[in-house]
């Protein structure tokens, strides 16, 4: 029986502004001795997307500057405890400190989230598909906390070529009955799954996922299909 398989890609160098992520992915696939196939999904951490898109900004290391950056990237603040801010970003993501990365960055800099992660994913997908002549999905990932459970997990900030929420409503279960609400957040499940292999290979921003249900492929975006509208939200 065929398994779902996930590989962390090796041999990725430092990513700088205007670097082509598609070039870096193609190179890392070769180093990893992996050949991209139709129906594969590539994941890319938002950190390298931001770096390649020039979303690195000066940061003087002070709490004041940290809070200034958080507020600049936020639509509103939901909760605050010390310098920890749970905010709604301009994209509509609800996360800690507007997703700004202050660790593992160049001296005196911070890395902001990509302006439009769905667009970033579409660009990477287009570039990779042109280079390699295959049809794949792309997910831009980041690490978020959860409200009521300890620990962080990776989630999808942007997607291309896949439906991030798979609607199984109306399909039947094993006994032939119609299933209740089962809109499955497959893009987030893939992002979290990939984090299980990235953890072992600190520093690699790319992973390859093979064996995903073909029903996942199609048109979709995180901004349209995953970000919950405030009106549907019981906790905002």
Residues 35-74 that bind a copy of itself (CB under 8 A): none
Q: Compare residues 130 and 200 and give the one whose CB is closer to a copy of itself.
A: 200
Nearer to a copy of itself by Cβ, of 64 and 233: the residue is 233
CA distance readout (Å), 208 to 15, 27, 128, 148, 166 = 18, 13, 13, 30, 20
Contact present, 114 and 53 (Cβ < 8 Å): yes
Part of the chain binding a copy of itself (CB under 8 A), chosen from 63-71, 99-107, 117-125, 133-141: 99-107
Residue-wise over 22-51: b if at least 16 C-beta within 10 A, else e?
bebbbbbbeebeeebeebbbbbbbbbbbbb
Q: How far is the CB of 202 from a copy of itself (least distance, A)?
A: 5
Of 62, 170, 181, 231, which one interacts with a copy of itself (CB under 8 A)? 181
Which CB sits closer to a copy of itself, 33 or 64? 33
Q: How far is the CB of 51 from a copy of itself (least distance, A)?
A: 13
Torsions phi, psi for 67 (to 5 deg): -65, -40
**Binding region for a copy of itself (CB under 8 A) out of 3-11, 56-64, 66-74, 119-127:** 3-11
Report the largest interatomic distance among the alpha carbons of the chain, rounded to a whole angstrom.
61
Options 18, 64, 82, 104; binder of a copy of itself; rule CB under 8 A: 104
188 by Cβ neighbours in 10 Å (0-12 / 13-18 / 19+) ranks as: buried
Which residues 188-207 are close enough to bind a copy of itself by CB under 8 A?
Answer: 188-190, 192-193, 195-197, 199-200, 202-203
Selected from 38, 182, 218, 219, the binder of a copy of itself by CB under 8 A is: 182
Q: Which of residues 146-175 bind a copy of itself (CB under 8 A)?
A: 146-155, 164-166, 168, 171-175
Select from 116, 122, 117, 119 the least CA-distant residue to 137. 122
Which residues sit opposite 143 in a β-bridge? 154
Is 231 a binding residue for a copy of itself by CB under 8 A? The answer is no
């Amino acid at each position: 029986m065929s398994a779902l398989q996930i590989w962390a890609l090796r041999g990725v160098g430092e990513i700088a502004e205007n670097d082509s992520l598609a070039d870096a992915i193609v190179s890392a696939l070769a180093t990893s001795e992996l050949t991209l196939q139709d129906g594969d999904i590539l994941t890319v951490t938002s950190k390298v997307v931001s770096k390649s898109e020039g979303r690195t900004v000066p940061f003087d290391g002070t709490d004041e500057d940290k809070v200034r950056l958080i507020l600049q990237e936020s639509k509103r603040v939901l909760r605050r405890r010390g310098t920890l801010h749970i905010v709604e970003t301009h994209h509509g993501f609800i996360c800690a400190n507007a997703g700004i990365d202050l660790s593992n960055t160049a001296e005196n800099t911070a890395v902001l989230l990509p302006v439009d992660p769905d667009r970033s994913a579409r660009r990477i997908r287009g570039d990779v598909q042109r280079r390699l002549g295959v049809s794949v999905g792309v997910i831009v990932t980041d690490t978020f906390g959860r409200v009521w459970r300890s620990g962080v997990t990776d989630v999808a900030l942007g997607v291309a070529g896949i439906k991030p929420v798979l609607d199984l409503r109306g399909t039947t279960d094993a006994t032939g009955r119609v299933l209740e609400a089962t809109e499955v957040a497959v893009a987030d499940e893939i992002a979290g799954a990939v984090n299980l292999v990235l953890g072992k290979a600190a520093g690699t921003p790319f992973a390859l996922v093979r064996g995903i249900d073909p029903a996942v492929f199609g048109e979709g975006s995180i901004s349209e299909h995953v970000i919950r509208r405030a009106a549907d939200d019981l906790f905002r």
